Amino acid sequence: MKIVIIGAGSIFFTRRMVLGMAQSAILRKARVAMVDIDGRKCEQMGKFCRKINESAGGQLDITWTTDRLAALPGADYVILAFAIRNYHYRETGTNLSKLHNIHVKSGETAGPSAVFRIIRAVPEVLRVAADIERICPKALVINYVNPTNVIGTALIRHTKVRSYAFCDGMYEATSLEITKYLGVPRLDWQEFVKQYQFKMGGINHFTWLWGLEKDGRSLWDQFKAGLSKYAEQEAIQSDACGEWELTRIYDAWPTQFYHTCEYVRYFQGKGGRPQRDHFCTKWSLNERIRWYRNVWKSIEDCNAGRITVEQALADPSTDMIAAVIESIEGDQKSVFAVNVRNDGRIPNLPADVLVEVPARFGRTNVDAPAVGPMPPGIAGLIHPSIEEQELALEAAMTGNFRTAVKAIAADPLVMSLNDAEDIAKELIAQEEDDMDRAWDAYWWNSRI
């Protein structure tokens, strides 16, 4: 089996992904080809992953290169985990949003910066997919590129590759939170899905829980009571307080409040009683860069023999893809959150968009059963974000400035059409070096 990781310099995913493969009885002998356009990072990560493999007792055959065309032949799985100057442009987008009195906490899948992340990422992902179609057409593509549901939609609509789109943490952390609010022993996700029945889904980074049972008995009121009690004990700026504010109004719990708070307008410090609400603070480049540099230092220190692999892996990071591939190859039918075409799984969301729902992964099929309709209020919150993402995808495919403006104007946090147009112009000016050549026409059109 051959697994290709494109964007292997990703410190969020690659280290834990390789550790999971090395520890797996099913994957531990796989060939792993790591690709990154940054040669130094690719080499450092490759050497570090060899140390991870050795320390875990794996027998992975790990190679690295800056040339994806050299890595792709014979691939069974291709994992997309790259970003285009992610930190820099998240700071650009969140800063510009703040100048227009829009507070964006992450900027990955919501807000004006997310619109332009889609515009930057989609053309490059499609170029990679074209290489996969030509060189290893039977490979399964696993997408981690954000916004993962929009990129996944682009792969389905505009390529012939087989693909699934994932996010790194929705459900794995969710089970720990649910059991905490229930006041019962905390469970990891796979054990949780064996014991509990639930209604859960939405779009990536904007997912909700609206029903919870065990052995035929509803635990929804118990869950809400536990969340309410927990929120009362926390500071107003805690995520639990924001979660409770949404849950008590909509009777549905946001599973990833860190991201949810920038999809909705309630946490912008506006309104008659804004002081009672959680306030959406802006994403911090300095904090992320400090973490990023410390992680790379630990990798380089490990490669130089100054610290152990265990010490270098001590910081928080995440990955679920090794377990997904293991479930497929071993026909384990484990459950993971996946972004798949809706097709009625959540009937009050559009059929042709990707929704994030639980699914069982086996060798011959992925079973993502219907979840049922979302509570009407929640569906109403999600629809504008779907329209925004659909328009952003259209802008990415066409290079059309007016479509980009419409995408930003559709965002629930944007309060002015003039703001939408000004933000679009400024982001094009700041990001044009990394935008597709289709956007050259923007500069040649004197009427803009």
Query: Which sequence spans correspond to the domains of the chain?
Result: 1-448
What letter represents residue 306's amino acid?
R
Asked if pLDDT for residue 275 goes beyond 70, the answer is: no
As a whole number of angstroms, the distance between CA 269 and CA 254 comes to 19
Mean pLDDT, the chain, rounded, equals 93
Percentage with pLDDT > 90 across the chain = 80
* Closest among 78, 16, 81 to 53, alpha carbons compared: 16
User: Is residue 276 pLDDT above 90, yes or no?
Assistant: no
Q: How far apart are CA 33 and CA 46, in angstroms?
A: 9
Share of the chain above pLDDT 70, in %: 97
Contact 1, 286 (CB under 8 A): no
Q: Which of 240, 269, 270, 267 is nearest to 255 (CA)?
A: 240
Looking at 188-256, list the stretches that DSSP marks H as alpha helix, in order from N- to C-terminal side: 189-195, 220-232, 239-250
How far apart, in whole angstroms, are the C-alpha atoms of residue 115 and residue 209?
26
What architecture is the 1-448 domain classified under in CATH? Alpha-Beta Complex (3.90)
* Residues 406-442: tens digit of each pLDDT: 999 999 999 999 999 999 999 999 999 999 999 998 9
* Alpha-carbon distances of 389 from 107, 187, 340, 353, 418, rounded to whole Å: 13, 34, 15, 10, 20
Q: Work out the pLDDT band at 279, boundaries 50, 70, 90.
A: confident
Tens of pLDDT, residue by residue over 17-47, are 999 999 999 999 999 999 999 999 999 999 9
pLDDT above 90 (res 111): no
Give the distance, in angstroms, between the CA of residue 388 and the centroid of all CA atoms in the same chain.
Answer: 17
Whole-number Å distance between alpha carbons of 140 and 363? 12
Q: What confidence tier does 270 reach under pLDDT thresholds 50, 70, 90?
A: confident
